[in-house]
Amino acid sequence: MTPFLRSLALILGFLVGSAALAAEAVFPPGSRIGLEPLAGMVPSKRFTGFEDAGQGVAFTFVEMPSDAYREIASGLTAERLKDQGIELRTREELKLGDRNAVLVAGEQKLGELTLRKWFLVVEDPSLTALVIGQALPEAQSRPGGAIKAALTTLAIRPPLAIEDQVAALPFRLTERAGFRPVRAMAGNALFLTDGSKDVVVGAEQPIAIVAQSTAPAPPPQQREAFARSALLSNAIFRDATIERSQGFRQKGAEWHEIVARATEIASGAPVVVTQTIRFAPSGYVRMLGVVKGDAREAVLPRFRTLFDGVEVE
């Protein structure tokens, strides 16, 4: 599977200069991508983008590296979309202001349900903007022409300061424990580290990730298995040996914590991994910390301080 297909499959699995009308564009909190949403659409609290839950229409925004444009644009073909269960209807190459763009429309069958889908990918020197549009069959008041018109108002604004990105997240950090926020991801996750480098290779610096999920929390009897599966399903480390796995109650919520030893994949260095999940009726927050094995005594208490200070809005 090509990098394009891996990226697109991941996006579908989770789902689901400026353009000419940039002055009217609306930007979801923390997003560099904006557009003129259709009447009735509001910024989503479940993902970065807009939705009209009553009409079953959604626009999801994905910010990708600037060099991803060619691969994604060239991959929006009938054959490759078919691999994702989508039948291509139209494909257009566009100019949005001075930016190159490709817009495709198609249909995706999910059992008895047929969804209308749109993919807009836009080239910019600082990022590749990908917008995924989706409409349920009953959204007849949202014709394809109106959705296309909204998509082509796409605008891109300059990079946001990291503190602005943090402020837009659906959770708060009351204590950072010396960790430095580096970047927000997908509107619901934050990457932090302790050190001068923003790109951490081979566990050379401790890292922490805090991410809020809108998926339903598993029932209490399944949380132990869920936490273990979440820890072991990753691309950061391998050969994990769990030292401790326990649930507890704190701040009026149910939590689960795992501490494990593992091997960092890129470098082969021994690391210690701690995962804490805070469960709530409407979802959960997952927190992950990774540090070299020889620094565990100094850093693990700081991970606990950071994670204990996460407050959900």
pLDDT tens, residue order, the chain (313 aa): 454 445 454 444 444 333 333 348 999 988 999 999 999 999 987 788 999 988 889 999 988 888 999 999 999 999 999 988 899 999 999 999 999 999 999 999 888 788 899 999 999 999 999 999 999 876 666 788 899 999 999 999 998 899 998 998 989 999 999 999 998 877 788 999 999 988 888 789 999 999 998 678 899 999 999 999 999 988 889 999 999 999 999 988 999 999 999 999 888 999 999 999 999 877 899 999 999 999 999 999 999 999 999 998 7
Q: What is the pLDDT of residue 37?
A: 93
The answer to whether the beta carbons of residues 44 and 75 sit under 8 Å apart is: no
Q: What is the pLDDT of residue 303?
A: 98
- From CA 275, how far away is CA 98, in angstroms rounded? 45
Do strands 270-280 and 253-264 pair parallel, antiparallel, or not at all (unpaired)? antiparallel
Q: In the chain, how many H helices and how many E strands?
A: 7, 18
Q: What is the pLDDT of residue 79?
A: 92
- From CA 199, how far away is CA 269, in angstroms rounded? 17
Question: Which of 310, 312, 230 is CA-nearest to residue 274?
Answer: 230
- From CA 45, how far away is CA 308, in angstroms rounded? 23
Q: What is the pLDDT of residue 198?
A: 86
**Which pTM does this prediction carry?**
0.69
Q: How far is CA 117 from the centre of its chain?
A: 19
Query: Residue 48, Cβ neighbours under 10 Å: how many?
Result: 24
Please count the residues of the chain.
Answer: 313
Q: What is the pLDDT of residue 75?
A: 92
Q: What is the pLDDT of residue 141?
A: 67
91's tokens: 């494909």
| Averaged confidence pLDDT in the chain | 88
Per residue in 71-110, pLDDT tens? 999 999 999 999 888 999 999 999 999 999 999 999 998 8
> DSSP of 223-284, one letter per residue?
HHHHHHHHHHS-SSEEEEEEEEEEEEEETTEEEEEEEEEEEETTT--EEEEEEEEEEETTEE
Q: How far is CA 206 from CA 94, 117, 119, 159, 238, in A?
A: 43, 40, 37, 25, 17
Residues near 184 by Cβ (< 8 Å), separated by ≥ 6? 30, 162, 165, 166, 168, 169, 190, 191
Q: Which domains does the chain have, with CATH numbers?
A: 3-156 (3.40.1000.10), 162-312 (3.40.1000.10)
85's tokens: 């269960």
